[in-house]
């Protein structure tokens, strides 16, 4: 579960409705050179992030995505195809297309395989920036499956007791349907925070929490402008986060043949002409392949109800993975999605460059 409670919302320059934002994202990406499927997938993933309070992986990514497509780093009109199929597993060649289109496409294949075989796993190669991993796990849950999604990324995270970048933020996400309610949804970076959170804090002019980022020399810092690398999840027990990052690395790079984190072109490299060749991995499990479907549904509901009812310490609230995000989504559906000043300025520039109407 992403700790959205720790994300400061202000200063918020303005708010915009999700439909208007999605329209703006699609039109900008199309003007930058994306086909309809790529623009739709990227907008869908970004709006997932922005609705659920994962602002670091929401619509603030639009300027980067538009630049990557216009510059040729991301193929705006890819011909994605399965290049290997063997039983319940497959490999998707994403043709250097947008990472969201690759992940949604791969998950659709995984669900199709799982419907017939109980499990479907698809490795993704020649992809690009993944965006919010939870969006793709959720895509499986929305089709009645237990979904898992992970990817690696360029090196930003030091190892436990390390003083150099090694792993990427390497997110892991899992979603499970819950009858009559929103799915159970875990979406976590294996770093203490994602790097886009550092960029968000810079924009907001806020200090970082203690122990989540380091200077170039590996010294802890709360100054977002001095943060050059991230700490692994776990604080004093960061070997756990580093180990989980390695798990994501194995699934996303070792199994796919994609670059290891320390071999990848940095996301923020100004060269937008060269594809990055990222890897990823998605899996779908059919719950009723293991025991009767009604038993799975009853036990999952019982589990989440018991979790929420567990006693909380004074001033606290016990939540299941996803509860905070779904609460935030409902709030933002009412009030609009907050946009920070940097994002508003970037949107104004994009609207002028591509002759697209602003969403606010």
pTM to 2 decimal places: 0.93
Cα-Cα end-to-end distance for the chain: 30
Whether 7 has a pLDDT exceeding 70, the answer reads: no
Whether 8 has a pLDDT exceeding 50, the answer reads: no
pLDDT digits (tens, 9 = 90+) for 329-355: 999 999 999 998 889 999 999 999 999
What is the CATH number that goes with domain 17-289+338-354? 3.30.1370.60
pLDDT digits (tens, 9 = 90+) for 176-195: 999 999 999 999 999 998 88
Alpha-carbon gap, residue 175 to 327, rounded angstroms:
16
Residues 6+ positions from 272 with CB-CB distance below 8 Å: 67, 68, 70, 71, 72, 73
What number is the average pLDDT over the span 315-329? 97
Mean pLDDT of the residues in the chain: 94
pLDDT at 202: 86
The domain locations on the chain are: 17-289+338-354
pLDDT digits (tens, 9 = 90+) for 193-251: 888 788 878 888 899 999 999 998 888 999 999 999 999 999 889 999 999 999 999 99
Helices 323-335 and 36-51 cross at an angle (nearest 10°) of 100
């Amino acid at each position: 579960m992403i700790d959205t409670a720790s994300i400061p919302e202000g200063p918020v320059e303005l708010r915009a409705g999700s439909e208007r934002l999605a329209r703006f994202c699609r039109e900008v990406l199309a003007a930058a050179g994306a086909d309809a499927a790529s623009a739709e997938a990227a907008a869908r993933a970004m709006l997932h992030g922005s609705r659920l309070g994962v602002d670091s992986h929401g619509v603030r990514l639009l300027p980067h995505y538009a630049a990557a497509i216009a510059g040729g780093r991301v193929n705006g009109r890819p011909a994605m195809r399965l290049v290997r199929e063997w039983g319940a597993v497959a490999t998707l060649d994403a043709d250097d297309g947008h990472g969201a289109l690759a992940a949604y496409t791969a998950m659709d294949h995984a669900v199709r395989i799982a419907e017939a075989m109980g499990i479907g796993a698809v490795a993704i190669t020649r992809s690009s920036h993944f965006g919010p991993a939870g969006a793709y796990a959720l895509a499986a849950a929305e089709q009645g499956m237990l979904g898992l999604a992970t990817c690696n990324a360029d090196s930003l995270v030091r190892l436990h007791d390390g003083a150099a970048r090694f792993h990427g933020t390497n997110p892991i996400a899992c979603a499970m349907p819950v009858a009559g309610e929103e799915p159970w949804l875990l979406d976590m970076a294996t770093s203490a925070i994602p790097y886009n959170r550092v960029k968000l804090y810079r924009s907001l002019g806020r200090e970082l929490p203690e122990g989540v980022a380091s200077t170039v020399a590996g010294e802890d810092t709360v100054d977002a402008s001095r943060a050059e690398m991230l700490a692994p999840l776990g604080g004093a027990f960061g070997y756990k986060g580093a180990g989980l990052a390695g798990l994501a690395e194995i699934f996303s790079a070792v199994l796919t043949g994609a670059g290891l984190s320390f071999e990848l072109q940095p996301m923020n490299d100004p060269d937008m002409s060269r594809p990055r060749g990222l890897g990823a991995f998605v899996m779908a499990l059919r719950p009723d392949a293991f025991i009767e479907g009604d038993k799975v549904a009853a036990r999952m509901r019982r589990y989440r109800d018991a979790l929420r009812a567990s006693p909380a310490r004074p001033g606290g609230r016990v939540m299941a993975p996803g509860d905070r995000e779904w609460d935030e989504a409902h709030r933002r559906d009412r009030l609009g999605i907050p946009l920070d000043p940097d994002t508003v300025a970037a949107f104004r520039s994009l609207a002028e460059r591509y002759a697209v109407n602003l969403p606010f």
